[in-house]
Structure 1
Amino acid sequence: MNSLESLLAAGQLAQAKAEADKLLAANPAHREALVVLTKLALVEGKLPQAEALLAKAEAQGPTPETGLVRANIAAQKGQLDVALQAYQDVLAKDPNRAEAHFGRGMMLIKQDQTPQALEALTQAVKLQPQQAVFRFRLGQVQLEAGRTDEGLASLRAVVAQAPRFVPAYLAASHALSAQDAYVEARAVLEQGLQAVPYQPRLLASLTVVSMALRDLRTSYQAASALAAQRPKDADAQANLAQLMLARGQVEQAKYVCQSMASQGVASESLKMAEATCYESQEPPAYDKAVAAYEQGMGLSPDGWRAANNLGQLLLRIPAEPADKHLPRAVTVLEEATRRAPERPEPLLNLALAHARQGKDAKAKELVQKVLAMPLAEDTDLHHEAVRLSKTLAKA
């Protein structure tokens, strides 16, 4: 590796550019300098400039290095076949070029040629075992191929080798969560936070995983740290407010929501948390809760959660007569299902609303749609759908 490439590898991009410019000033045909400037242009997304620089470098004859850059350009332009051929041309000249095996593997996986991609990525790791990115991508492809144990082993090797490589912790945690191994997933994220304290993506994932474990303490700690780090991030603040509500800290949650509103920060999730605060008051401020949900619906025109929750609220608000809010609940829940027809929650709530209206046929139709969805049988949603179906069958 020449000195310019060493600077690139070390992340010293400005110095690499300065050195390359000096070399080109003395010799406009300096191939190594042209290649490095081409790579820097690619980093900046300047494809036309990169192609022009590479053409000057290739004018002196192609090399494995120019071949790798040519493949990179083709890949960025979406020309997968061209890129794949370029990587294979490099390997024909230099069979031990790890970057070419890696690039070939990435092109093959994009073309759904998983076995060949695994072979190429494995070879890249063998040739450059110290390159964490190569091993990480191998782990990802192994997981996608259903080779979970191998994929997790690769990701564990990455974090052992490069403890601050955040994507490896996230990928391993996601893979474990997909197997319902939430305890192990949480341990991976906590390990990552020891290596990279207060890392936002790790904190966000730890909040979610801990909630799945009903570990409110860890979720709250992670959410608090993330919210402190991102004081104007609507999602981070809404997450903290929701966890405060789960802990019974209604006034604190309301303060978070109102503080964000005073700063002009608003989102569907924040308004949903605010609505829950109003409903949790004694006596409940139903009118303010309804208004907050309506604002949430407006903030997220494609979001279904605020509409679904508003429909549920309208179904349970005490009223005289009892069905006073029922027509509006149906309208809102129909909007929720329009926004997210694939979600079972608004469909089931709409079925409940129609059942209360006495429209049993419509309710039966909707609940059967819910039961036809791939719902886990041990969920509250599935149990509720089964109960409603049995009730309607007796009607």
Structure 2
Amino acid sequence: MNPLEKLLAAGQLPQAHAEAKKVLARQPTNRDALVVMAKLALMDGKLPQAEEFVTKAEAQGATGDTLLVRANVAAQKGELEPALKLYQQALGKDPKRAEAHFGRGLMLIKLGKTEQSLEALAQAVQLAPTNAAFRYRLGQVQLEAGKDEEGIASLQQAITDMPRFVPAYLSLTHALASRDDLLGAKRVLEKGLKELPRNSRLLASLTVLSMALRDVNASYKAASALAANRPKDPDAQANLAQLMLARGQYQQVLHLCRTMDSLGLSNESLKMAEATCYESEEPPAYDKAVAAYEAGMGLAPDGWRAANNLGQLLLRMPAEPAEQHLPRAITVLEEAVRRAPQRPEPLLNLALALSRAGQQAKAREQVKKVLALPLPETDEVRQEAARLEQALAKA
């Protein structure tokens, strides 16, 4: 490996660029420098420049290096078959070139040739056993081919070879979670966060996984770290707000929601959290809760959750006369159904509101829509819809 290639391999891209330019200033036809400049252009997505440099390098004849660059250019253009042929030509010049086997494997999997891809990627790993990227991609293809044990082992080794390799942690987490090994998946993420304590992708995955495990404390810690890492991300802040609500931290949630609102960064979920805080006050601040839900509906024109929750709030709000808010609840729930006609929750809530309003035929119509959805028999919404159907039949 020449000195310029060593700089590339070490990730010292600015130095490699500067040194290659110096060499070309003295020797405009220096093939090593031209190839490095082509590779750097390729990394920046500058395909025309990469082709220009590699054409100059090939003035003295094609080499394994120039063929690899041309193959990468073709691959980035989506020209899979030409790229595959170029990788094969590179292997003709150097059968032990790991990068060529790897590139060939990537083209083969994209062409749907899984077994051939596995062979090529395995060969790349055999020739470059410490290359974590090669082993990581092999693991992904093994998983895609249904070879779970082999794929998981490859991903674990990729992490061992490169402990700060985020994609490997995420792929391994997904693989373990898909096998219902949620605790194993959680341990992988925790291991990754020891190496990269503030990584947003790992924190977000740990939050979701901890919630699946009903580990609220772990979820709260991960969500807090994610929110601190992304202070202007409404989704990250809303995720933390929901976990704060579960812990009864209403004042902290209100402060968070108002801060995001003042920055113009609020969203539907934050407004829903804000509404929950207002309703939890003693006495409940119903007017403020209604206003927060309305704002949430405006922030998410296609979202159904704020409208559904507002409809439920209107149904349970005390009033004199008792059904004062019922007409508006029906209107809001109809809007929720319009926004998400296949969601069972607003359909059921609309049916309940119509039933309370004495509109039995319309209520039955909504109940039938719920029961027609592919919900398991144990689903709570389905069970409540079935009970309402029986009650309506007796009315």
What TM-score results when the alignment is normalised by the length of structure 1?
A: 0.91
Question: What is the match of residue 47 of structure 1?
Answer: 47
Change (3 A) 1:23 1:201: same
Q: For residues 291 and 369 of structure 2, what CA distance do their matches in structure 1 show?
A: 28
Change (3 A) 1:109 1:388: farther
Q: For residues 19 and 364 of structure 2, what CA distance do their matches in structure 1 show?
A: 77
User: Which of 361, 367, 370 matches 2:370?
Assistant: 367
Question: What is the match of residue 137 of structure 2?
Answer: 137
Kindly state the Cα deviation for residue 80 of structure 1 after the two structures are TM-superposed: 1.8
Change (3 A) 1:5 1:226: same
Question: What is the match of residue 102 of structure 1?
Answer: 102
Q: For residues 178 and 62 of structure 1, what CA distance do their matches in structure 2 show?
A: 46
Task: Please state whether the residue corresponding to 1:163 is helix, strand or coil.
Answer: coil
Aligned-residue Cα RMSD (Å) equals 2.3
Task: Please state whether the residue corresponding to 1:59 is helix, strand or coil.
Answer: helix
Runs of 4+ deviating beyond 6 Å: none
What are the Cα deviations for residues 205-234 of structure 1, in whole angstroms up to 9, with x where unaligned? 111111111111111111112222222222
Change (3 A) 1:144 1:29: same
What are the Cα deviations for residues 118-169 of structure 1, in whole angstroms up to 9, with x where unaligned? 2222222122110111111122222223322222221111112221111111
Kindly state the Cα deviation for residue 12 of structure 1 after the two structures are TM-superposed: 0.8
Is residue 344–residue 370 contact of structure 2 (8 Å, CA) maintained in 1? no
**Letter aligned with residue 193 of structure 1:** L
Q: For residues 134 and 385 of structure 2, what CA distance do their matches in structure 1 show?
A: 47
Q: For residues 387 and 103 of structure 1, what CA distance do their matches in structure 2 show?
A: 59
Question: What is the match of residue 122 of structure 1?
Answer: 122
Residue 78 in structure 1 maps to residue 81 in structure 2: no
Question: What is the match of residue 193 of structure 2?
Answer: 193
What TM-score results when the alignment is normalised by the length of structure 2?
A: 0.91
Change (3 A) 1:40 1:376: farther
Change (3 A) 1:218 1:2: same
Q: Give the unaligned 5+ runs of structure 1.
A: none
Q: Give the unaligned 5+ runs of structure 2.
A: none
Is residue 351–residue 366 contact of structure 2 (8 Å, CA) maintained in 1? yes
Kindly state the Cα deviation for residue 111 of structure 1 after the two structures are TM-superposed: 2.6
What are the Cα deviations for residues 275-331 of structure 1, in whole angstroms up to 9, with x where unaligned? 221222222222222222222222233333333333333333334455444444444
Map 1:112-191 → 2, pairs under 5 A: 112-191=112-191
Change (3 A) 1:362 1:155: same
Change (3 A) 1:317 1:62: farther
**Letter aligned with residue 95 of structure 1:** P
Is residue 352–residue 363 contact of structure 2 (8 Å, CA) maintained in 1? no
Sequence identity (%): 67
Kindly state the Cα deviation for residue 20 of structure 1 after the two structures are TM-superposed: 0.7
Map 1:297-376 → 2, pairs under 5 A: 297-356=297-356, 357-358=359-360, 359-370=362-373, 373=374, 375-376=375-376
Q: For residues 111 and 22 of structure 2, what CA distance do their matches in structure 1 show?
A: 41
Farther off after superposition, 27-36 or 353-362:
353-362
